[in-house]
Every structure is written in C-alpha cells, then in structure tokens.
C-alpha cells in the first residue's frame, strides 16, 4: 500500500501526457509516468518512491501498439509482459519475459516499466540489446526515435519528462536463432543469478547478460572473445568472463565467484546450442 497521497491521471494521448507532466512538474508535484504500477506501489512503502502525481500511460494508443506485420515489429511500451508473451512477436523477448517475476505479476508489469523502473535487472532489455532495437521516446520536445544501444548505458538515459512509447525490432532479426537461459540461486521464481539472452546473426553471436552486474549489459569486448574462433571454446569463454564489466554482484543471491562460474557455463551452453559454425 502507498502510505502517502498522490493524484492519478490518465491521459489519452502523448501530447496530453507530456503537457500534464510539465504542468505537474511546475506545480512541484514530482510526477512519475506510471506503467503497470507494480514498482511504484511496492517501493512506495519503503520510501524508495515518492511522488504527488502519477501519469498512467496505458491508455495512450501508441504505447499499446503491437504491430507484427511489416519489416519492423512495433512493441508498445505499455503492453504487459503476458500480452507480449501470448502474441509472441519476438520469441527471444517472450523467453526473457516468461522468466520475470511470476505470471500474475506479469499480467501487470509492462515492457517499459521493466526497463525503466528502479529494479536493476531489467531482463527485457537483453533481447532488445542483441536485436539492436530502436526506441521511440516522447517528451516535452516531441517524439524521437533512436537506437536503443545508443541510449542504454546501465539504464535508459531519459530526460526529465520523457517516456518510452515503443520499441521497434527488425522482423527478420526477431526470428534469428536465439538462446535464453536464466539461472537463479534456487528454484523457478525469483531474481536472476545470471540471465543470458543471445542471438546469432551472420555467424556471429550477440549476447547480453543480467544478474552478473548491477545493470544489464552487452559488451563488444565480451562478444569479440566469444566469437573468436581462433581459440578453443574454454579459453574464449574465460576471456569473455574476464572482460565482463565490473562490479560483479556479490549479494544474497550468490557470491561473485559463483556467479562467474555459472555465467561461464551458460556461455558454454549458449555456444553449444547456437552452434559454433560460421554460417547461420
């Protein structure tokens, strides 16, 4: 439950949303855009979220768009994870989404919320990173479309008043051979120890990881080692692991060295399943 008070707004267009934000910001209401609301509600109880106004973006048509024909898939940021899983426009994203929280929670958690919230796992980021998606962002200065990779550095870099409208994924890329594995400390529900999402394009593996560091990442250096066929697999993987960004998480889910052990094995599984040949 939310112990403090806030006002709830439900704009029906992008323009209305950004205008509302600006007005509420001016009035000192510290507004927040509101997707599924699961984080805002649960973190409020601990004082980790504080606001006097929430702007629900789930009734903005562009944010709910799901376009599966055409060269580009359009995935509205206000679609729930189960909606995306059931429509299954992007199988790797479906696999990633299915491992997050539990199904009932996923009926509420939105794609945008999973990516832009405070909890740092952001596992739906991984397929978008390896598919090299575009992101469509609305803000006080209008709407812009950028490469997701350009804007995502540990977090999505959004300006004040901006929110994510959609993701666009090249349809051909979305059907490439892919791999997803999530290992937890124990059991089938919970935060990741290590999550890997990968796809293979033109004989090259692209891999993104969550749970290893306090942010999801895709690293060119890591991929270079993984794809370096001049070396034996074991060496490549060790080099890739050594090239992981730092810090490696060391927390209640597991120790840093155990995480690296798990990551190395999952990378091995990835190479085995995606095949190590040069061709697709």
Partner 1 sequence: MAVGKSIIRKEAWDKVTGRAKYTNDFKEQGMLHASLVTSPYAHARILSLEARRALAAPGVHAVVTGEGLPLTGEDMRDRPPIAVDKVRYYGEVVAVVVADTLAQAEQAARLVRVVYEPLPAIGSPREALKEGAPLLHEHLDRYEKNKTTYPEPGTNVAHRTKIRKGNIEQGFAESDVIVETSVSFAPSDHAAMETRCATAEIWPDGTIHISASSQSPFMIKKLLHTYFGEETGNIIVHTPLVGGAYGGKAPVQLELLAYLASKAVGGRKVSVWNNRECDMVTSPVHIGLEATVKIGATKDGLLKAMEIVFLFDGGAYSDKAIDVSRAAAVDCTGPYRVDHVWCDSLCVYTNRPYATPFRSFGHCEQAFAIERAIDELAKTLQLDPWEVRRKNAIRPGHTTPTQVRLTKSNVGNMPACLDRLRELMRWDEWQCVELDAYTVRAKGISGGWKTSTIDTDASSGVILTFNSDGSVNVISGVVEIGTGTKTVLAQIVAERLKMDVDQVHVKMDIDTQTTPEHWKTVASRGTFMAGRAALAAADDAIRQLKDIASCVLRSSPDDLEVGFGRVFLRDDPAIFIPVKDIAYGYKFPNGNAIGGQVIGRGHYILRRLTPLDPKTGAGQPGPEWGVCAEGVEVEFNRRDYTYRIVKAYAVIDAGNVLNPKAALGQAMGAMSMGLSFASREGFLFDHEQRVLNSQLRTYRPIRFGEHPEYIVEFIETPQIDAPYGARGIGEHGLIGMPAALANALSLAAGVPLNELPLVPELIWRRQKGGSHGSV
Partner 2 sequence: MEETTKRELVLHVNGERRSIVARQAETLLFVLRDGLGLTGAKPGCLNGDCGACTVLVDGTPIKSCMMLAIETVGKEITSIEGLDDAPIQHAFVRHFGFQCGYCTPGFIMNAHALIERHPNADEATIQEWLESNICRCTSYQEIEAAVKEVLEAKKAKPTDP
Beta-sheet strands, E only, within the chain: 7-9, 32-34, 53-56, 66-67, 72-76, 134-139, 142-147, 152-153, 155-156, 163-170, 178-183, 194-201, 204-213, 215-218
Q: Which helix (H) or strand (E) holds 191?
A: none
Neighbour-count burial for 33-48, b at 16+ CB within 10 Å, e otherwise: bbbbbbbbeebbeeee
Site mask for partner 2 (CB under 8 A), range 160-199, x = bound: ----------------------------xx----------
Binding partner of 41, given partner 1, partner 2, none, CB within 5-8 angstroms per partner class: partner 2
254 binds partner 1 (CB under 8 A): yes
45 binds partner 2 (CB under 8 A): yes
Binding partner of 229, given partner 1, partner 2, none, CB within 5-8 angstroms per partner class: none
DSSP-derived 3-state class of residue 203: coil
Site for partner 2 in 224-263 (CB under 8 A): none
Q: Are 151 and 165 in contact (CB under 8 A)?
A: no
Q: Are 110 and 101 in contact (CB under 8 A)?
A: no
Q: Which residue has the tokens 């977090």?
A: 155
Which CB atom, from 16 or from 276, has the smaller least distance to partner 2?
16
Hey, which residues does 181 pair with through a beta bridge? 196
220 binds partner 2 (CB under 8 A): no
Shortest reach from residue 3's CB to partner 1, in Å = 4
DSSP-derived 3-state class of residue 64: helix
Shortest reach from residue 114's CB to partner 2, in Å = 13
Shortest reach from residue 190's CB to partner 1, in Å = 5
27 binds partner 2 (CB under 8 A): no
Residues that bind partner 2 (CB under 8 A): 1-2, 4-8, 36-38, 41-42, 44-45, 56, 98, 101-105, 107-108, 188-189
Residues that bind partner 1 (CB under 8 A): 1-4, 45, 47, 183, 185-191, 250-252, 254-255, 257-258, 261-262, 265
């Amino acid at each position: 439950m939310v112990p403090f008070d806030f006002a709830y707004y439900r704009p029906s267009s992008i323009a209305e949303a950004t205008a509302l934000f600006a007005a509420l910001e001016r009035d000192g209401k510290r507004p927040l855009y509101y997707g599924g609301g699961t984080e805002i509600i649960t973190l409020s109880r601990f004082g980790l979220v504080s606001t006097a106004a929430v702007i629900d973006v789930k009734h903005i048509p562009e944010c709910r768009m799901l376009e599966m024909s055409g060269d580009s898939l359009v995935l509205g940021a206000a679609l729930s994870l189960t909606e995306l899983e059931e429509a299954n426009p992007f199988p790797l994203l479906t696999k990633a989404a299915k491992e997050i929280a539990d199904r009932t929670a996923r009926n509420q958690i939105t794609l945008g919320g999973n990516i832009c919230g405070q909890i740092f796992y952001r596992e739906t980021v991984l397929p978008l990173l390896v598919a090299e998606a575009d992101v469509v962002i609305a803000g006080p200065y209008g709407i812009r479309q950028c490469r997701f990779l350009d804007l995502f550095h540990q977090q999505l870099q959004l300006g004040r008043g901006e929110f994510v409208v959609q993701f666009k994924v090249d349809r051909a890329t979305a059907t490439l051979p892919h791999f997803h594995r999530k290992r937890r400390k124990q059991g089938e529900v919970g935060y990741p120890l290590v999550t890997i999402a990968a796809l293979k394009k033109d004989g090259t593996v692209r891999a993104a990881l969550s749970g290893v560091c306090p942010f999801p990442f895709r690293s060119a250096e890591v991929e270079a080692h993984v794809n370096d066929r001049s070396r034996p697999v074991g060496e490549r993987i060790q080099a890739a692991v050594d090239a992981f960004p730092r810090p490696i998480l060391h927390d209640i889910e597991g120790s840093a060295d155990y995480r690296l052990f798990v990551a190395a094995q999952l990378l091995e599984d990835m190479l085995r399943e995606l095949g190590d040949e040069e061709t697709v």
